[in-house]
Amino acid sequence: MTSHQPFPSLVIRAGSITAQGSFAEAQASFLDPDPGEVAALARVLREKNAGIVAHFYMDPELQGVLAATDWPFIHISDSLVMADRAVEMAKAGARTIVVLGVDFMSENVRAMLDASGLSNVPVYRVAERAIGCSLADSAEAPAYGAYLTRAHETPCSLHVVYINTSLRTKAYAHSLVPTITCTSSNVVKTVLQAFAQIPDVHVWFGPDTYMGRNLAQLFASLAELPDSAIRQVHPAHDRASIAALVPRFHFFEQGSCIVHHLFGAAVAERVRTDYQDAFITAHLEVPGEMFGIALAAQRRDAGVVGSTSDILAFIGKKLDAAARAGAPTHLRFVLGTEAGMITSIVRRVRQTLRDTEAKGGPAIDVEIIFPVAAEAIAQTGEADLAVVPGVSGGEGCSVEGGCATCPYMKMNSLDALMRVLGRVDEGARPGLAGYEPKHYTDTIGGKTMAELGGLPILHMRELGKLGRLPDALVDDVRSRK
């Protein structure tokens, strides 16, 4: 028997949701949004013919209303596809795009619309002040510049930059080292494909330290598998090629997301000892302790490490398998990422449970466990969103376990969205200039920051379409030998 208070959790059934603990109650409170708010949002979106792209980590009230709104130009996902969906919406007739996320996301949307010949479609955030990101900020620091200089001075180098960075970072990096962006969904494929096409390349990943360290651990563990298992991950690799690439994979040592940083050793140990019967999920950005637990679980098909989309797909796969098995069961999942994902998880789980019940299938309960401790930390409410020890954070927060919610993402609220939408036609773009993504007017090598910073994103998009690094990027790497 555990001596700890259980982690908060949500138990989802076909016809009900039960919250256990105040942190879970807060997450559940907006899963069934107010119909009046849903109708109001739908009405203004139709009036303005506006599209919304939002991240999984959104405020639960806002995400609940978005998910319930019957309007075709709404998309909630991880950052990989937000910009692509915005382009699709604009091509389908949306006159305005509102980005619900942090600032690098709106910058990416703006860059991809411009690259698609849609510069006439305005893009807005929902705040005039910066909606920051601790990870993106770490790539603006002098230490990251020094890291890029090392890469620049190393022949045959490729910089794989996490998309959670500003256009300025991407542009500056690409001016020094051939650069391609990645997300947590495609980073493993990106790195392995780079080594497959350029066997002697040095890959420099950043700025996320935890993700980099976890990738290094993942590649080292791959080298211990038989060739047949490695080829399932990437068909061009075997034990010899993986062992050869490990010393040439570099990662930045001083960058972290403040949310995933909070999944520390104390919380990971509780997951290990108290939740052995649960499936373990972990984002690639979490610290090594949680990552190691999830990686071990993944090897026995009891967990997953990856992106938010990977986590959602894993939960869906296990739920579908339980429905096919035909016996009543209780599935438990430890959610090793930002708690905002719960809205999308609940929607997926509810629909499957209802479909299963309608077909006369077994009764299935799904418990989503938030691995955060009961001791508190508090946010100060100041502009820099500092976190300090204290008691006001309530259940779900701890100095070592964290609140599992991103304070920057939570700057996106339903009220803020409605205010911006209400002003969309008031004097058009000049009246909302403060809500647009940052404009970069300075240049590097004759190209604007926006133009140069968009190239690594376009390289990633081409990799997604072709399954290989674009020739221009490979040639750029090889030319610097």
What is the DSSP code string of 401-445?
T--SS-TTGGG--HHHHHHHHHTTTSSTGGGGGGGSPPP---EET
pLDDT score, position 430:
55
Question: Cα 456 from chain centroid?
Answer: 18
* Residue range 104-163, pLDDT digits in tens: 888 888 888 988 899 999 999 887 777 656 666 677 778 888 999 999 999 999 999 988
Q: Tell me which of 339 and 399 has the higher pLDDT.
A: 339
| CATH number of the domain to which 296 belongs | 3.40.50.10800
Query: 288 and 331 share a domain?
Result: yes
**Taking the CB of residue 4, how many other CB atoms lie within 10 A of it?**
11
Q: Which residues contact 1 (CB under 8 A, 6 or more apart)?
A: none
Query: 264 and 370 share a domain?
Result: yes
Which span out of 293-297, 339-343, 467-471 was modeled with the highest average pLDDT? 467-471
Sign, Cα dihedral of 353, 356, 358, 360: negative
Q: Which residues contact 376 (CB under 8 A, 6 or more apart)?
A: 390, 391, 392, 393, 394, 397, 398
* Residue range 336-394, pLDDT digits in tens: 776 667 777 888 898 899 999 999 999 999 999 988 754 433 343 443 333 333 323 33
Q: Answer whether residue 1 is part of any domain.
A: no
Domain that holds residue 57: 35-131+410-435
Cα separation of 99 and 76, whole Å? 10
Instruction: Report the share of the chain in percent with pLDDT over 90.
Output: 38
Q: Tell me which of 138 and 87 has the higher pLDDT.
A: 87
Query: 191 and 330 share a domain?
Result: no
Query: 262 and 378 share a domain?
Result: yes
pLDDT score, position 406:
55
Query: 271 and 231 share a domain?
Result: no
Query: 234 and 361 share a domain?
Result: no
Q: Answer whether residue 464 is part of any domain.
A: yes
Q: Answer whether residue 155 is part of any domain.
A: yes
Cα separation of 57 and 212, whole Å? 21
Please state, rounded to an integer, the average pLDDT across all residues of the chain. 82
Instruction: Report the share of the chain in percent with pLDDT over 70.
Output: 82
Beta-bridge partners for 54: 76, 100
pLDDT score, position 231:
93
pLDDT score, position 250:
97
State the DSSP H helix or E strand holding residue 63, giving kind and residue range, or none if neither. helix 60-68
Query: 51 and 69 share a domain?
Result: yes
Q: Among 256-260, 313-317, 426-430, where is mean pLDDT lowest?
A: 256-260
pLDDT score, position 79:
74
**Given a cut of 60, is residue 480 above it in pLDDT?**
yes
Report helix, strand or coil for 335: strand
Q: Among 51-60, 150-159, 269-278, 326-335, where is mean pLDDT lowest?
A: 51-60
**Given a cut of 60, is residue 55 above it in pLDDT?**
yes
* Residue range 416-425, pLDDT digits in tens: 899 999 988 7
Query: 275 and 397 share a domain?
Result: yes
pLDDT score, position 42:
95
**Taking the CB of residue 247, how many other CB atoms lie within 10 A of it?**
8
pLDDT band at 91 (very low <50, low <70, confident <90, very high): very high
Report helix, strand or coil for 205: strand
Q: Answer whether residue 2 is part of any domain.
A: no
Query: 290 and 388 share a domain?
Result: yes
Q: Tell me which of 133 and 2 has the higher pLDDT.
A: 133
Q: Answer whether residue 365 is part of any domain.
A: yes
Q: Tell me which of 404 and 344 has the higher pLDDT.
A: 344
Counted domains in the chain: 3
Q: Tell me which of 261 and 55 has the higher pLDDT.
A: 55
Q: Tell me which of 207 and 41 has the higher pLDDT.
A: 41
Query: 124 and 161 share a domain?
Result: no
Q: Answer whether residue 3 is part of any domain.
A: no
DSSP state of 347: H
pLDDT band at 402 (very low <50, low <70, confident <90, very high): very low
C-alpha angle 416-420-425 in degrees, rounded to nearest 5: 165
Query: 91 and 187 share a domain?
Result: no
* Average pLDDT over every residue of 1-7: 64
pLDDT score, position 287:
61
Q: Answer whether residue 4 is part of any domain.
A: no
C-alpha angle 52-459-109 in degrees, rounded to nearest 5: 15
Q: Answer whether residue 67 is part of any domain.
A: yes
Query: 22 and 158 share a domain?
Result: no
